[in-house]
Amino acid sequence: MDATLTQTFMRRGRAYGRLMRLDRPVGSLLLLWPTLAALWLAAEGVPTPGLIIIFTVGTFVMRAAGCVINDYADRNLDGHVRRTQARPLATGEVREKEALLLFVVLLFVALALVLMLNLQTQRLAVVAVGLAALYPFMKRYTYLPQVFLGAAFSWAIIMAHSAHLAPDQAVWDIPPTAWLLFVASLLWIVAYDTEYAMVDRADDLKIGIKSTAILFGDADRMMVGALQGLCLLLLVLLGLELMLGPTYYLGLAAMAGLFGWQQYLLRHRAEPDCFRAFGNNVWVGFAFFAGVVLDQSLVPWLLAGEGNG
């Protein structure tokens, strides 16, 4: 009996883990790298360990919450899409009420993290929750759900900057460069989520789900490339505005190379290759993060060492 209960507990635990995408960290990393990069830029150096921990854990918690509410919203649709038909809500492994309860628990964990931050960031967190809850339902009403996802994911950039505000400052004191990075991130996210949507395009057309992949049609590759190019342009402007150094631009050069590789993968629009192109964006995000960290941390440290010498 004990062995049976243990097996049941482990099976349900794995189902909850899959519902939160703990077995697929790609989405969490796509959210994490630009968030951490924003922390470094906002700190103009190395952020405090506390902020790094809060935003890192918060990234994984909010991405998990987003996946849960997304699967709840799509519970009657996922069974008709090849890529999603094995999701726990679609198969009945997790009940609808259990999913909603898990979503609430994750929000309480996120709330506990946010309460460790300043009041300005706590207020912005309300917007973050609204965007995360709104996105899953947009694919029923607009061909631009990827824009809502981009806003939801990129909002952490604004929160990372607000976390560095002084007590006497307001959210409108967040620097314009933060919003520039927000828009660049949004464009990048629309590009990679379009690649993701290209995988499901045939199934989505059958069941009436909308996406930028359907909206762009045969111009999908061109539009993805245009979004990637605009993203890079804004990041160049960001570097110029903040007077960032060569290592930052090396990161952007790596991003450009990875974007070129994705265009090659998308050339035949084969579903496995579209999915590979999407997954490759983890390295795009890491390249940007690495360029920022090298510029804000390593290079100043080396220059300080030379000065002491």
Mean pLDDT within 106-114: 94
Mean pLDDT within 281-298: 94
Q: What is the C-alpha separation between 25 and 66, in angstroms, rounded?
A: 13
Identify the pLDDT of residue 83. 83
Please write the tens of the pLDDT for every residue from 191-239.
999 999 999 999 889 888 999 999 999 999 999 999 999 999 999 999 9
Identify the pLDDT of residue 304. 57
DSSP, residue by residue, 148-182: HHHHHHHHHHHHHHHTT--TT--GGGS-HHHHHHH
Identify the pLDDT of residue 5. 67
What is the dihedral sign for C-alpha 150, 215, 279, 184? negative
> Can you give the pTM of this predicted structure?
0.92
Length of the chain: 309
Say which range, 11-15, 43-47, 158-162, has the weakest mean pLDDT: 11-15
Identify the pLDDT of residue 12. 80
Going by C-alpha positions, the residue among 206, 197, 192 that lies closest to residue 271 is 197
Q: What is the C-alpha separation between 40 and 57, in angstroms, rounded?
A: 16
Rg (C-alpha) for the chain, rounded Å, is 20
CA 52 to chain CA mean position, Å = 16
Residue labelled with tokens 């794995």: 14
Fold classification of 21-296 is Tetracycline Repressor; domain 2 (1.10.357)
**Boundaries of every domain in the chain:** 21-296
Q: How confident is the model at residue 89 (pLDDT cuts 50, 70, 90)?
A: confident
Q: What is the 3-state secondary structure (H, E, C) of 225-278?
A: HHHHHHHHHHHHHHHHHHCCCHHHHHHHHHHHHHHHHHHHHHHHCCHHHHHHHH
Going by C-alpha positions, the residue among 1, 147, 137 that lies closest to residue 74 is 137
Say which range, 88-102, 217-231, 253-267, has the weakest mean pLDDT: 88-102
Q: What DSSP character marks residue 14?
A: H
